[in-house]
Amino acid sequence: MLKQRIITALILAPLALFAILFLPVFWFEIAIAGVVGIGAYEWANMSGFTQRPQKVAFMIAAFLVCIVLSVQVGSESIWHQGQLNSLYKSILSIAVVWWVVSLFMIIAYPKYSKVWRENRAIRLSFGVVTLIPTWIAVVALRTSLYDVDEYYGASLIFYVLGIVWAADIGAFFVGVKFGRHKLRPNVSPGKTLEGLLGGVAASSAIIAFAALHYQVEPSRIWLHLVIGGVTVAVSALGDLNESMFKRTAGIKDSGRILPGHGGVLDRIDSLTAAFPVFAFSYVMWMA
């Protein structure tokens, strides 16, 4: 299992780096749409759709939604005079509301969940508001200040990836060593409060370094730290959210496409929350 995980990571990491750094914006949008499409296939499975044609249909639909958005809002129109396109901004706003709703769903689970647990269409709609805003967020960040510095947006993406991965690593080791208080045992028995705090602490170094790298004004450092901290915290929410839907569906992994890792959603569940929330915060207060 460990060998499979290492081999898969060694293959995927260079591909991800190449896509973020070197793909033209349009092809980058296509690549991320492909990831979203695979995630949609797995989400359909978590929503109770077991027939392959149904899952493929949702995958294609999610991919096409991203493509339609890409065509409707050309890369040169995503940002205008420092402002994000109004449609993209609205979708990010919807995503923030969804993650607030998701928080209450996770806190209450399994209470008050009968309606959505027994309705596959509702569970599928949760996938829409999880996956499409993730595509919007990644594309919006990648194209930020693109005409000034074509790698600036890539640095924002690496920033989010860095703090989320640091949080995951810190949460794992702190949780294993000191974890006592379960976050939501009905959703994910392995997650602890101590692990969450350890994750936030582990990501603090990257957040502080980023504040220096982006030459944040001293009076705004607190805002930078708060947004970074919220991004890390909400990444844990994304993890719990997927665990909740997998538990409802009675499955361990979202898929089997990544040897040793499970499904795509198993690897990006934290990012589906972190990217939209960070992108919304960036658009509103940091851009």
> Which two structure tokens, joined as six digits, stand for 117?
């647990």
Q: Tokens at residue 188, please? A: 């994910």
In the three-class reduction of DSSP (H, G, I as helix; E, B as strand; rest coil), residue 134 is classed as helix
Model confidence, pTM: 0.94
- How many Å apart are CA 190 and CA 176, to the nearest integer? 9
> pLDDT digit string (tens) for 96-145?
999 999 999 999 998 888 889 999 999 999 999 999 999 999 999 999 99
In the structure encoding, which two tokens stand for residue 35, read together?
Answer: 């990831």
pLDDT in tens, 182-230: 888 888 888 888 888 888 888 988 888 888 777 778 778 889 889 999 9
Compute how many other C-beta atoms are within 10 angstroms of the C-beta atom of residue 23: 15
Residue 192 Cα to chain centre, angstroms: 20
Partners of residue 262 on adjacent β-strands: 258
Q: Where are the alpha helices (DSSP H) in 119-258?
A: 120-142, 152-178, 193-213, 221-249
Q: Which pLDDT score, from 0 to 100, does residue 272 have?
A: 97
Please name every residue paired with 141 in a beta bridge, in sequence order, or none if there are none: none
> How many Å apart are CA 285 and CA 279, to the nearest integer?
10
Q: Residue 148 carries which DSSP code? A: T
Who wins on pLDDT, 202 or 30? 30
Whether the CB-CB separation of 193 and 186 falls below 8 Å is answered with: no
CA torsion sign, 267 to 268 to 273 to 278? positive
